Amino acid sequence: EELTTFSFAAATSLNFGTVGILVGQYGFDAYSEQKIGLSYARLLTSYLAISGQFDVLGFKIDGFGNNYSYTVEVGLYSKLSDQVHLAAHIFNPTSSKLSDEEELDSRIKIGVRYIPSNKVDFFTEIEKIIDRSVQIKLGAEYAVLDNLDLMAGANLE
């Protein structure tokens, strides 16, 4: 039994925004997760963008059968300056469930990207999954050469 991951995504810009599709699968014979997402994103101003995605989530567990759930995702992105970018993402704000007994996590993420020079970027992300502790993720990226970046990060709970 091999663990496999498959994903495909495509997007196209239209006059009224950008639309996209995402198809993904993760797992092995006894357990697998599937996701199909239809998304829409739009620039509201030169420094503010909003996005939304409708998801169909599938789960298969041997001995328990298949379950499907539906949820949405919402994103917000702002370029506060050339050096500071801010983003927020909410997954499952509707508190959709996998089944009567199984909750589907709702989560909120807020991230900041700081670009002090054309060679260095710093990243911070704060993630809160409902009913769990906050996670803080820190990262740095250094452009060693034009096509080579060195990256490091840490996940703090």
Please check the confidence at residue 65 and state whether its pLDDT lies above 90: no
Average pLDDT over residues 66-88: 96
Instruction: Delineate the domains of the chain, giving CATH numbers in brackets.
Output: 4-156 (2.40.160.40)
Query: What span, in angstroms and rounded, lies between the C-alpha atoms of 141 and 119?
Result: 8
Q: What's the pLDDT tens digit per position in 109-152?
A: 999 999 999 999 999 999 999 889 999 999 999 999 999 999 99
> Residue 29's pLDDT band (boundaries 50, 70, 90)?
confident
Q: Contact 109/89 with Cβ under 8 angstroms?
A: yes
Residue 11 has pLDDT above 90, yes or no: yes
The reported pLDDT for the residue numbered 102 is 80
Contacts of 59 (CB under 8 A, 6+ apart): 32, 33, 34, 66, 67, 68, 69, 98
